[in-house]
Amino acid sequence: QQPVQSPQAVILREGEDAVINCSSSKALYSVHWYRQKHGEAPVFLMILLKGGEQKGHEKISASFNEKKQQSSLYLTASQLSYSGTYFCGTELDGSNYQLIWGAGTKLIIKP
Amino acid sequence: DSGVTQTPKHLITATGQRVTLRCSPRSGDLSVYWYQQSLDQGLQFLIQYYNGEERAKGNILERFSAQQFPDLHSELNLSSLELGDSALYFCASTNGRGGSNTGELFFGEGSRLTVL
């Protein structure tokens, strides 16, 4: 039931792009993305709803493919501040307010 | 600052002991979630309360219990502690906005529990 995140880790140079994927074997109602820096609390990035549109802003955006039960997080022209571990949380269709979290993708940005 | 307050920030105790972790949600948030995060691992959902009532339960051990009080603060009680209970325990609150059932979660800074 736990969504699968890929890759597990990625190392980039500042200014490069990254894509982080989150895939579920179950029908999803929503996908949530959070970023956690080492030793800190997770911080909300965005929610994507079934039937919704791609969300985000200029540099960080995400999409949700309902047919494939997959979501992708796009980080464009990465900055040092983007470093951290990215978690997706999935709400299943008909779920009881639980988010099921992926194992996380560790992103390291080097200058 | 998320507006969610957790105490204590750090706790060191011995096996077999009992501890209580406290969480004050953001003003106006009725829903409180508790998560356990072991070293460099993902978030394990423990339990959720909404306006004083238990709403959802995850993989919470029988040795663990929680409650949400009328003033909406919540406590997580961990008893008969084992070495494997050492982890970061997060509390998160939400007002349910964002369109999903869960909404945007605001996490506290966590309580780091070390069991020796």
> Tens of pLDDT along A23-62?
999 989 899 999 999 889 999 999 898 876 666 666 889 9
Whether residue B43 and residue A87 make contact (CB cut-off 8 A), yes or no, is yes
pLDDT, tens digit, for every residue of B66-78? 999 999 999 999 9
Q: For residue A47, list chain B residues with Cβ-Cβ distance below 8 A.
A: 98-100, 103-104
The pLDDT value given to residue B104: 87
Three-state secondary structure call for residue B13: strand
The pLDDT value given to residue A42: 94
Nearest chain A CA: its distance from B86 CA (Å): 15
Model confidence band, residue B40 (pLDDT cutoffs 50, 70, 90): confident
- What is the rounded CA–CA span in Å between residue B116 and residue B113? 10
- What is the rounded CA–CA span in Å between residue A106 and residue A109? 10
Q: For residue A101, which of A90, A85, A86 has the smallest C-alpha distance?
A: A90
Measured CA distances, B37 to A14, A110, B41, B44, B104 (Å):
29, 26, 6, 6, 19
- Assess whether pLDDT exceeds 70 at residue B99: no
Q: For residue B17, which of B77, B78, B80 has the smallest C-alpha distance?
A: B80
The pLDDT value given to residue B111: 97
Residue B58 is classified by DSSP as -
Rg of chain A over CA atoms, in angstroms? 13
Model confidence band, residue B102 (pLDDT cutoffs 50, 70, 90): confident
A89 in reach of chain B (CB within 8 A):
yes
Whether residue B45 and residue A91 make contact (CB cut-off 8 A), yes or no, is no
The pLDDT value given to residue B65: 97
Range with the poorest average pLDDT among A70-74, B83-87, B98-102, B103-107? B98-102
Q: For residue B76, which of B105, B46, B45, B55 has the smallest C-alpha distance?
A: B46
Interface probe with A: pick from B91, B100, B112, most Cβ of A within 10 Å: B100
